[in-house]
Amino acid sequence: MTDSGQHNRPEPEGSSITADGGRTLDKGTAGGSARKALGDPAGRGRTTIADGVVEKIAGLAARDVVGVHAMGTGLSRTFGAVRDRVPGSTRSVTRGVKAEVGEVQTALDLDIVVEYGVSIVEVARAVRENVIAAVERMTGLEVVEVNVAVGDVKLPDEVDDDDRDQRVQ
């Protein structure tokens, strides 16, 4: 059985093939004067990406960087630690991330806590690179800026908010 790549299928009533291989379809007007090209599937609809989707991607990408201890400001981490203790709740990956998403671009603000002893400048650079790569790869949006605010440093002898109320160590 050979297949030449051409299929002899009848065209739908009122349609024809254009020179570029696209299909046109009469819109039901008299004489067929209004035709619309149906070639490129990417042009047949619109994709929107919610701010929360970009925030989740950025939050996970930022947490992957060595030297990032936590995300969020002190107050949001405290409320998050309380919320995380509620049975059935899940840890928020968007804590410390704010995204503004447009049609083709996005801008991000991140609040992070770094580990003591790391180069804050290097951690911030690595966070930017990782976040930009992940967001652009997964969404196709252009990341125009990633602002990183370091709000705290995790000292080696400090107890985490998440570990304070654990009874079993």
Give the chain's end-to-end CA distance (angstroms, integer). 68
pLDDT grade for 68, boundaries at 50, 70 and 90: very high
Look at the alpha carbons of 29, 30, 32, 34 in this order and tell me if their dihedral is positive or negative: negative
pLDDT digits (tens, 9 = 90+) for 103-145: 999 999 999 999 999 999 999 999 999 999 999 999 999 999 9
Which 3 state secondary structure label does DSSP give 122? helix
**pLDDT score recorded for residue 92:** 79
Rounded to two decimals, the pTM is 0.65
Q: What is the CATH number of the domain that holds 76?
A: 3.30.70.1350
**pLDDT score recorded for residue 104:** 95
Asked, for residue 169, whether it belongs to a domain, the answer is no
Residue 135 and residue 58 in contact, taking contact as beta carbons nearer than 8 Å: yes
Asked, for residue 1, whether it belongs to a domain, the answer is yes
**pLDDT score recorded for residue 113:** 95
Whether 77 shows a pLDDT value over 70: the answer reads no
**pLDDT score recorded for residue 111:** 97
23 and 76 housed in the same domain: no
Domain total of the chain: 2
31 and 98 housed in the same domain: no
Q: Which domain holds residue 13?
A: 1-45
32 and 78 housed in the same domain: no
18 and 75 housed in the same domain: no
Rg (CA), the chain: 26
